[in-house]
Amino acid sequence: MEFNRQSRRHGGVFWRLFFALVSLSAIAIAVLTWLFSNAYEDLLWRHVRDTLRATAAASGELLAEQWPGQPSPILQANVAAAADRASVRLTLISSDGRVLADSGQESVGPVRQMENHGNRPEIVAALRSGEGSARRPSPTLAERLLYVAVRVGDEQRPLGVVRAAAPLAPIEAEIIGVRRWLYAISALLAVASAAIAYWIARRVADPVRELSEAARALVGGEYGRRLAIAVPSHADADEVAAAAVALHDIGKRLARSERQLRNTSQTQATILDCMTESVIAVDSSEHILFANAAAGRSLGFDPARVNGRTLLEAIRSHELRDLLRQAIAGRKPARGELTSRVKPPGVFDVLATPLAGDPPAGVVLVLRDISELKRLERMRQQFIANVSHELKTPLSSIRAYAETLRNGAASDPVHGPRFLERIDEQAGRLEELILDMLNLARIEAGQTPLKLVDVPLAGFVKRCIADFETQAAAKQISISVAVEDALAVHADEKALRQVLGNLVDNAVKYTPAGGRVAIRACRDGERVLLEVEDTGPGIPPAHHARLFERFYRVDNARSRQLGGTGLGLAIVKHLTQAMGGSVALESQVGVGSVFMICLPAGKLPPSG
Ligand code: ADP
């Protein structure tokens, strides 16, 4: 189990290094053991041989003066004693090979029986060169011996040979013993060197493994991993430590870059999501890469779910797809318009800009909602048509009357003045229309400076309706006022006069003879509610929503006949709103209408 864990932990570098070190040390130990064992063996043999040579040589020197010719008991005893002292076997051999004495024999008797030693290799060598040695079994003693023979006398007249011999068995036993020790020490050394190799391999491989794991962690996006490698602060840090420092720095830089990148992309995403324009990025194969929140809202999809889908799948607009292809094919921005039918429907100005690359890597589509612009454009056209129409009618009348006058009616005492009166009437109508339009334009452009003051309402309303008394009396219309004395509004006096004037004018104008007009005002919290009620024809509910638009009339012919411009209620609405108020209408066909103005309440100046 432990081995498995370790082998999983250590990588290739460790095992390669470990085996290399172990093999190296094993070879070194084997060679050293072999050399030492051989040297020791040589030394031992040389020592034994030297000892034997010295003993033989010393004995030879002693006997050189009176070299025995024959074996004798005295000689045998002396040789045996000398051999015993030197712990060797001594043999005296005559130059013709006869054995003269041998410490290996009990007495002189067996010596005489001994075979001729003249052909023994060590004797042959000694007689020839002064010294000879051999390692072989002794035929006499039946054991293996090391023989060293030394010649006595010179080469021309040799007296004989003294031979010293020692048994091989103890020497070989010692050699075997020493070898055993050597092998045991070698084994210990091998174990120790394996441990050292393991330690060295770990010291080298562990940091390398750490580095590779840290590098792998970097690849996996784990930038904050701390390296366990001890990094010396001084300049002579080794390569691994330097690599660790570099890797650590890379990690820190990568983390910083990733943080910056994340911040930037978050900022960009936030900006893109806050944009009112829809932004869609599409790759060259028309798959959506990104879409912002506005795009999802305008085109009816979930921006988080469209990534990877094709533009046509997500938006189902062939116009948009064609524009995208046009931008890619033309390698330049393409512009177009898109009408979206999703809720709420809208019109978009689309700019398709190809991304860099040839062919372009994709396209960025920016959609600007121009529905409001289109509506305003439509309104403008409608307004021009309305204005032209409004101006055309009185002008046509003026031209017709002028034509009639020129054709002779001018001298007609009855029709002449009547036609001139009509011309004046139509010119007055034109003037009124133009003044109303100018007025409205000024209010809308904010060019009518409003001076908001606290206006006491009771007196103001009375003064205002005084202008309509003649008109009302002519139609037998009664105008009643019910305004509390203690009521004031915060408003511009001139504007309020125009608002109230327009409403009362309409009420008197559209109420049939004998009807009633009532003006009421009451407080409603912080506001004042001013109502103009009439018993006129009433206005069908279908017209309520558009009644305050310019030139909107319920009954065109009747309005014109009564001298209306179609702008009165539009002026009422704009002025009231400019003063911080609102308008409303309640009406029932055949019963009458109530126009309600709600304005901020004002304070009355202290009376007295
Ligand atoms: P006009 O100059 O035609 O009166 P206004 O903007 O003042 O233009 O009014 C718009 C239309 O609203 C009128 O043409 C008329 O049809 C209708 N209207 C306004 N006031 C009343 C009312 N008190 N009773 C019935 N209809 C009214």
- Secondary structure in 3-state letters for 517-570: EEEEEEEECCEEEEEEEECCCCCCHHHHHHCCCCCCCCCHHHHHHCCCCCCHHH
pLDDT, residue 4, reads 39
CA of 592, closest atom in ligand 1:
24
Angle, CA 354 vertex, CA 353 and CA 356 arms, to 5°: 130
Q: Residue 12 has what pLDDT?
A: 83
Chain centre distance of CA 148: 92
515 in ligand 1 pocket by Cβ < 6 Å?
no
469 CA from centroid of ligand 1 (Å):
19
360 lines ligand 1 (CB under 6 A): no
Cis peptide before 359 (omega within 30 of 0): yes
Cis amide prior to 167 (ω within 30 degrees): no
User: Measuring CA to CA, which residue among 444, 433, 441, 435 is closest to residue 390?
Assistant: 433
Rounded to an integer, what distance in angstroms lies between the CA atom of residue 431 and that of residue 429?
A: 5
Name residues whose C-beta falls within 8 Å of residue 347's C-beta, 6 or more positions apart in sequence. 337, 338, 339, 340, 369, 370, 371, 374
Residue 553 exposure: Cα atoms within 13 Å on the Cβ side: 18
pLDDT of residue 1: 33
Atom of ligand 1 minimally distant from the CA of 566 = 8
**Ligand 1 pocket mutation pick from 569, 573, 589 by most atoms within 8 angstroms of CB:** 569
- C-alpha 345/C-alpha 348 separation (Å) is 10
Nearest partner of 528 among 598, 455, 452, 457, judged by Cα: 598
Q: What is the distance in A from the centroid of ligand 1 to the CA of 270?
A: 50
**pTM score, whole prediction:** 0.52
- State the Cα–Cα distance between residues 39 and 51, nearest whole angstrom: 18
Residue stretches of the chain with pLDDT short of 70: 1-9, 224-237, 606-608
Give CA–CA dist 539/530, Å, rounded: 19
Alpha carbon of 549 to ligand 1 centroid (Å): 11
What letter would DSSP give residue 60? H
Name the nearest CA neighbour of 483 among 498, 470, 496: 496
What distance in Å separates the CA atoms of residue 217 and residue 421, rounded to the nearest whole number?
99
- Indicate whether residue 444 lines ligand 1 (CB < 6 A): no
According to CATH, the topology of domain 269-369 is Beta-Lactamase (3.30.450)
> Could you give the residue ranges of the DSSP H alpha helices within 407-537?
415-444, 457-465, 469-474, 493-510
Q: Give every CB contact of residue 209 below 8 A, 6+ residues apart in sequence.
A: 9, 10, 11, 13, 14
Which CATH number does the domain 450-600 belong to among 3.30.565.10, 3.30.70.20, 3.40.50.1100, 3.30.390.50? 3.30.565.10
What local confidence, expressed as pLDDT, does residue 439 receive? 85
The CB of 587 under 6 Å from ligand 1? The reply is no
Contacts of 242 (CB under 8 A, 6+ apart): none
Q: How far apart are CA 2 and CA 8, in angstroms?
A: 10
pLDDT number for residue 2 = 36
- H/E stretch holding 152 reads strand 144-152
> For domain 374-442, is the CATH number 1.10.287.130?
yes
Instruction: Give the residue among 356, 367, 284, 357 at the shortest CA–CA distance from 320.
Output: 367
Give 211-214's long-range contacts (Cβ < 8 A, gap of 24+): 211/240, 211/243, 211/244, 211/247, 212/11, 214/244, 214/247, 214/248, 214/251
Residue tagged 């305004």 (tokens): 483
Which ligand 1 atom sits closest to the C-alpha of 555?
Answer: 16
pLDDT at site 204: 84
- Residue owning tokens 């932990």: 9
Please tell us whether the domain made up of 16-174 is placed in CATH 3.30.450.20.
yes
pLDDT for the residue 334: 94
